[in-house]
Amino acid sequence: MKQTIPAQQWSVVRGADCGGGKYLPGENNDVLLRLTGTPGQIAGLPFTSRAMLILDMQMDMDSIAAVNTVFHAPGEVIPENEEDHYLDYRMIPQRRVKLAVRLEELNSSKHFLDHLVGGMLEGHAHGRPARVEDMDTLELEIFPLWGGAFRSFTLFEAYLTFEEPDMTVEGAPMVDAFGQWMDREWEGKVHSEEELVRYLRGELESAQNGGQYPEGFSRWGGWLSKKFDATGFFHTHHDGRRWWLVDPDGYAFFSNGMCYGSRMGVFGFTDRRESLFSWLPQPEDPTYRDAWTTADQIPEFAKRNGPGVGADRKMFNFARANLIRAFGPEGWWDAWVTINAARLKNWGFNTIGVGVNNYEDERVMDYLAKAKIPFVWTLKKFPRTNTRIFRDFPDVYSEEFSEGVAHFAQTQLGPLKGNPYLIGYFVNNEPEWKTGYMNLAERAFAHPQRLRSKEALVRWLQEKYGTPEALSTAWKRSFSSFEDLFTPAERLDALSEQAAADFAQMHALLIDRYSEVLCTALKRVDPDHLDLGLRYAGAGPRELAGSEKYDVFSFNCYRVTPRPMLDTAASIRDLPMMIGEWHIGGGSKGLLGLGLLFERDEETRAKACDFYFQEALTHPNCVGIHYFEMNNQPLLGRFDGESMEHGVIDVCNRPYAKLMDTFTKTARRMYELLEGQAQPDAVEQPVLRRGSRNS
């Protein structure tokens, strides 16, 4: 059943109404529309969790179109440290697209929404769990995610339905035969197959002369001028002045890494948007078989959506197809290994960063054996419990979690035992429960089931307070017994200052248990390699809970400089620290997205990257930084819709020359900078523009 929302029901908060569903952006370069009503009856229609809101629209802009659907409940005041209830979407611009807003996803059970079809690139849930039946207002906000031109927004139709309509995007092609944006021109853009093939074959010829680390580097990429004990594996050491990694031969080592450094290109969806490609071979074509896959073969997609999901979703890799054009279906992989390994060593990168094992068909162990570059590993198939506290955070006091972790450790680490090139492993990456602010203990007490973790927290409270009367006094709420705490209740942490303090401590207890069970099981299987931690999306007091159990505290840091995060973490605990992801994106090669931080001019981008690099090198706790990532993402998005120009090579395998010259210059003197024998360049801290990242 289709229930149309009349156009006159939308009030214009920002922007200009041109009539006929067309709107122009206002001073903020956005359009904000609003629907009002009563709880569950917005604009006079029944908004229920079972329904979908369909928006048939077109955004005439030059970057990814951001579409935020923000819901408000009458009288609700959102605390400053929490987000509104909203679902955000990233859409293909310049073509007519449909968006299906699944209203049940306001329950925030997942951060990453899995409805990636047609014109949708990304989707994310924000805020604490909510029901649309409790909401009386919907705001629709549209803006260009990376700024730039925004000419108009057209809403052809909006309606509620229980059945998903055809989401196929129709329109003129956007992507050329090489994976580039057809409507943009830039220096270095490939215009013919002959030009592409000539360039790639020339790169292979140059690489066959071999790649070498800078002078003074060990065979592992360590520093021959500083020696510690050799153990045959990478380990950590504090020399009285700073933390170091140490390579298997005992030489001081700083992990200058390239994320996805073993990968040639990134797969992107083609289904229900086929008309947007000027060329695609048939999936059955034997020449291009290695350039096709399905979504279920992408481990990160399977992690977020479940095993087997996406087996019918076709994905294509233009960067691989371009190598196949030059070297054929049997020779492209060997050519890529030769080209890439030589480049990385010549540029001064001594680590293959996160995501080494991200595609099932990458032949990753073959690559690593040929390239002979140290690497880090991200463990996959992270153990979950059937019932979770919040999003992907498991019931950590349950036997189910302990048993799952034991299996996880054995299956994930067993095959890597004894490999001297493995620096260490990341246990997880940016877990969904850490996205936004949410107290895990508060979620445990609000949970409808009697979780093992809730039982453990109640025991902790009983030991602390002794009697329900003492708890009642502290929390300013009456409890007749500790058993009362098993009745689900929201926002218990807001009852009093003492309650807030208790919940902060119980939140840390849950993370501590989470880390303890994981680390113990992993070290039991593999005591030789470094446990690099959870690679959080940032570093602060809440992230440091349980961090003493890891060999290295890891986090991702998309900032102008990593020093504030490093300083904050070091002030709490003196640990070796690794930045698992960072980048400063560009805007010179025609992509829809630019980077979490970005600078459109390549020379300015190079200077900003160099500033970040040197800031990390001169911090005494930093033992590594890994640039995210080797390749630019596809024009129409990867497995989760990200489409950023943040790589060091483009889809045609052309490096950003100025950027890589700058990286190489600093890498060649990085050990002198680390030791204090050289001083960092007197470069003014850059002022960068910031994009948006939700993965």
For residue 289, is pLDDT > 60? Answer: yes
Angle 396-399-403 from CA coordinates, rounded to 5°:
95
**What domains does the chain contain, in order, with CATH numbers?**
3-161 (2.60.120), 195-354+535-679 (3.20.20.80), 388-525 (no CATH)
Q: DSSP 3-state assignment of 624?
A: strand
Encode pLDDT of 592-601 as tens digits: 999 999 998 9
* pLDDT (average), residues 680-691: 80
DSSP 81-111: TS--EEEEEEE-SSS-EEEEEEGGGGG-S-S
- Summarize the confidence of residues 288-302 as an average pLDDT: 91
Contact assessment for residue 274 and residue 642, using Cβ atoms and an 8 Å cutoff: no
Rounded Cα distance between 350 and 681, Å, is 22
Output the six-digit token pair for 235: 């380990």
Per DSSP, the residues of 548-559 read: GGSSSEEE---S
Among residues 257, 254, 256, which one has the least CA distance to residue 236?
254
Query: Region 511-524: what's the mean pLDDT?
Result: 95
The pTM of this model reads 0.93
- Cβ atoms of 212 and 613 within 8 Å: the answer is no
pLDDT score, position 104: 96
CB 461 within 8 A of CB 485: yes
Q: How far apart are CA 479 and CA 287, in angstroms?
A: 71
Mean pLDDT of 279-301: 93
What is the predicted pLDDT for the residue at 695? 30
Question: Could you tell me which of 237, 114, 179 has the C-alpha nearest to residue 631?
Answer: 179
Comparing 689 with 136, the larger pLDDT belongs to 136
Reading phi first (left if > 0) and then psi (alpha if -120 to 50, else beta), residue 400 is in alpha
Helix (H) or strand (E) holding 57: strand 52-61
Q: How far, in Å, CA of 174 to CA of 97, rounded? A: 14
Residue in the block written with tokens 């009745």: 487
- Widest CA span in the chain: 82
pLDDT band (50, 70, 90) for residue 410? very high
- pLDDT for the residue 692: 54
- Average confidence score pLDDT of the chain: 94
Instruction: Please name the amino acid found at residue 533.
Output: G
Please compute, for residue 130, the number of CA atoms within 13 A of its CA located in the half-sphere on the CB side: 25
Mean pLDDT lowest among 111-125, 287-301, 450-464, 466-480: 111-125
Three-state DSSP state, 576: coil
For residue 283, give the DSSP letter.
Answer: T
**pLDDT over threshold 80, residue 54:** yes
| Lookup result for tokens 């058993």 | 483
Contact in structure between 315 and 292 (CB atoms under 8 Å)? yes
Residue 350 sits at the vertex; the CA angle it makes with 347 and 351, to the nearest 5 degrees, is: 120
614-647 confidence digits (pLDDT tens)? 999 999 999 999 999 999 999 999 999 899 999 9
Residues 6+ apart with CB under 8 A from 233: 248, 420, 422, 528, 529
Q: Tell me which of 218-232, 373-387, 395-409 is least confident.
A: 373-387
DSSP conformational letter for 230: -
Please provide residue 38's backbone torsions phi and psi, each rounded to the nearest 5 degrees: -125, 165
Q: Give the whole-angstrom CA distance, residue 428 versus residue 145.
A: 28
In terms of Cα–Cα distance, which of 285, 261, 280 is closest to 270?
Answer: 280
11 backbone dihedrals φ, ψ, rounded to 5° = -100, 145
For the chain, what percent of residues have pLDDT higher than 90? 83
Q: What is the mean pLDDT of residues 172-183?
A: 97
Tokens of 418: 């004894």
Question: How much is the pLDDT for 600?
Answer: 87
- Taking residue 631's Cβ as centre, other Cβ atoms within 10 Å add up to 22
Is the pLDDT score of 357 beyond 60? no
Given pLDDT bands bounded at 50, 70 and 90, which one contains residue 115? low
Reading the block at residue 221, the tokens are: 């990429």
pLDDT classification of 694: cutoffs 50, 70, 90: very low
Residue 693 has pLDDT above 70, yes or no: no
Beta-sheet strand order (sheet of 530-531): 530-531, 422-426, 375-378, 351-352, 255-258, 622-627, 577-582, 553-555
582 pLDDT band, cuts 50/70/90, is very high
Q: For residue 139, what are the CA distances in angstroms to 25, 32, 41, 375, 390?
A: 15, 7, 14, 46, 26
The two tokens of residue 170 are: 């129709």
Q: Token pair of 617, please?
A: 């090198």
Helical spans, DSSP H, in 224-317: 299-305
Say which amino acid occupies 424.
G
Q: Give me the pLDDT at residue 170, please.
A: 87
Mean pLDDT of 134-152: 95
Q: What is the pLDDT of residue 682?
A: 76
Element (H, E) at 143: strand 137-144
The pLDDT tens digits for 523-580 are 999 999 999 998 988 888 878 888 889 999 999 999 999 999 999 999 999 999 999 9
271-304 burial: b if 16+ Cβ within 10 Å, else e? bbbeebbeebbeeeeeebebbbbbbbbbbbbbbb
Are the beta carbons of 97 and 641 closer than 8 angstroms?
no
List the structure tokens of 410.
């054995």
To which residue do tokens 């309650």 refer? 499
Q: Phi then psi for 164, rounded to 5 degrees?
A: -70, 130
